[in-house]
Chains A and B, each alone.
Chain A
């Protein structure tokens, strides 16, 4: 008979640790199925009030404002995607091992990028609302940072895996760092770069839709006001229109990306 394998201590320890964390979280968050069961009918009622009905129809007169706010949402997302990904282009000259002038510059660039990426988008937006005032501007700036972080990271990761041959050729011909980047690297990663920008745009639309909940512009602003004023018919319509816009833009952008790469 074969020797039985040793008892899997590590697996059980890990399972025990996870169970302990979950128990701690359960207590700390006041999670309770009883409360949930009690509250669900009320939530159902609330949801029912959000759907169009005879007493609470989705009035066509809500549409102009919703449309305007949705447009603002898309504008924020689009502008942030373009500006943020544009800013990430020069960044790769320090943030990529193969293009950085020195090791310390690379480490500094990557460090900055990692630091930037730890700040949650909406936390940044909240702070910026305080600094720049209510409206789309703080949302735009927050998303520019966010886009920059994501595109710069993905782009420099891609550049590090790119065929170094052309770069060596240009270096051999006496090309500068900038020339190497412009003529050997960027042409190789251009489709990826476009795809990352689109990817950031998809995320930005989703985030821009809720920026207004912290006062940073877009359709979320309407949603917040409507919730505070209990304008049920409008809440339903706004949530539904966010849903449609996000799905449509997502599908379109995903399709475009699949054609790029």
Chain B
């Protein structure tokens, strides 16, 4: 407990007093540090995080972790691969849906495309609202519509991702030179054509890069969806955890780490080549 409470004091105090020299600075720092400690104390107090619980739980956690990896259940590997590829499928299709559906939102939310000042505000608000519903909650809803399984996961990932992808789209569109769009409409192009010939060529590489970035995040999300029954490796985690098959859980963890690391690496490499 003690080290955990003392170190944040330094962290909490460092924040709000950067570079501001003066008589009050030191006192201010101490006030901030003390309030950070107090707030932390209050938080932990409400969480039943007691030394006894920790001293009981941590050794148990150690035992379980040892069981997971000494050795993992390699025979379970084919099942893990199957679950992981389903997670990738959920992420791929979900990202695609989001990348397409985010287009109208992004265009709506971009300030330089709209004639009305209110539309971009509405668009940005809509994107923020979408982002606020977590994938897992959406997954629970879509399970109502299409039943449990990966399809519900695809829909949850697809809809949730619109929020972030749409926001990135809008911000990118806003950096497109307004004058080049004006030149197109001066030649008689319709708004749709202005978008197709003035905006799309300028932003396409970056849009692809946003989609790849979101795919990276969605692969992580798709490993979790199964915990609520929406497909992917998460379902196997849930099963093996409930059955206390720790070596199999270990195999799954290794698989997840390898997959996420790999996707992270590939996505970053592809994005570096796009820009």
Contacts and interface: CB of A to CB of B under 8 A. Distances in A.
Interface of A: 21-22, 24-26, 28-32, 35-36, 39-40, 42-43, 46-47, 71-72, 74-76, 78-79, 82-83, 85-87, 89-90, 114-115, 118-123, 126-133, 135-137, 140, 186-187, 190-191, 193-194, 197, 206, 209-210, 213-214, 217, 220, 223, 227, 239, 242-243, 246-247, 250, 260
Interface stretch (B6-14, B112-120, B173-181, B194-202): B6-14
Nearest to B154: A29
Contacts of B264: 118
A128 B145 CA distance: 31
Contacts of A193: 11, 14-15
A243 to B, nearest CB: 5
Contacts of B141: 43, 46-47
B15 A260 contact: yes
A137 B53 contact: yes
Main secondary structure of the interface of B (DSSP, over half): helix
A127 B250 CA distance: 10
Contacts of A132: 53, 57-58, 60-61
20 contacts: A22-B93, A28-B85, A39-B144, A39-B145, A40-B145, A76-B43, A79-B47, A82-B12, A82-B39, A82-B43, A86-B7, A86-B11, A120-B260, A131-B60, A132-B53, A190-B18, A191-B19, A194-B15, A242-B137, A260-B16
Contacts of B140: 213, 227
A22 B92 contact: yes
Most B Cβ at <10 Å: residue of A115, A118, A239:
A118
Interface string B80-112: 000001101110110010000000000000000
Contacts of A46: 141, 144-145
A240 B228 CA distance: 20
B15 A123 contact: no
A39 B147 CA distance: 8
Given A24-B89, A210-B134, A243-B132, A118 B47 contact: no
B92 A79 contact: no
Q: What secondary structure prevails in chain A residues at the interface with B?
A: helix
B161 to A, nearest CB: 14
Q: Tell me which of B15, B19, B234, B256 has the highest count of chain A C-beta atoms within 10 A of its own C-beta.
A: B15
B214 interface: no
Contacts of A35: 146-147, 151
B236 to A, nearest CB: 11
Contacts of A187: 18-19
6 closest Cβ pairs, A-B complex: A194-B15, A39-B145, A131-B61, A43-B145, A25-B89, A29-B150
B145 A126 contact: no
Given A22-B93, A123-B223, A131-B57, A78 B10 contact: no
Q: Most chain-B Cβ atoms within 10 A of its Cβ — which of A24, A120, A220?
A: A120
B4 A83 contact: yes
Contacts of B42: 75
Contacts of A79: 40, 43-44, 47, 49
B185 to A, nearest CB: 28
A57 B18 CA distance: 50
B18 A191 contact: yes
B207 interface: no
Given A87-B7, A114-B261, A75 B90 contact: no
Contacts of A129: 241
B64 interface: yes
A85 B253 contact: no
B57 A197 contact: no
B150 A82 contact: no
Nearest to B259: A118
B43 A89 contact: no
Contacts of A74: 43
A28 B86 contact: yes
B123 interface: no
Given A22-B92, A29-B151, A214-B227, 5 more contacts: A89-B7, A115-B257, A131-B61, A137-B57, A243-B132
B73 interface: no
Interface in B186-231: 220-221, 223-224, 227-228, 231
B72 interface: no
Contacts of A133: 57
Contacts of A197: 11, 15
B65 interface: yes
Given A29-B90, A131-B64, A213 B136 contact: yes
Nearest to A122: B224
Contacts of B253: 119, 123, 127
B74 interface: no
